[in-house]
Amino acid sequence: MDQQAELRALVNASDVPVSVATRARIMLWYAEDRQKKEIAELTAKVRLVQTNDKKLVDNNVK
């Protein structure tokens, strides 16, 4: 398995900590030759979604 496939597997795994999946996603974006500014914006959006997902789970909203 190549490195990008391993990173994709981490991103899609349900048993991987969110922080690890986020780092893997960032590495994939770098591999796509995205600029740092774009990766920073995408990372902020990912973290916003993760925060909102956690709030929904904490409040038992699905």
Domain boundaries, the chain: 3-58
pLDDT band at residue 52 under the 50/70/90 scheme: low
pLDDT band at residue 56 under the 50/70/90 scheme: low
Tokens 């986020």: give the residue.
Answer: 22
How confident is the model over 8-29, as a mean pLDDT?
91
pLDDT band at residue 46 under the 50/70/90 scheme: confident
Is pLDDT of 29 > 90? Answer: yes
- CB distance 28 to 4 below 8 Å: yes
Please tell me the pTM assigned to this model.
Answer: 0.71
Contacts of 26 (CB under 8 A, 6+ apart): 39, 43
Strands (E), 1-62: none
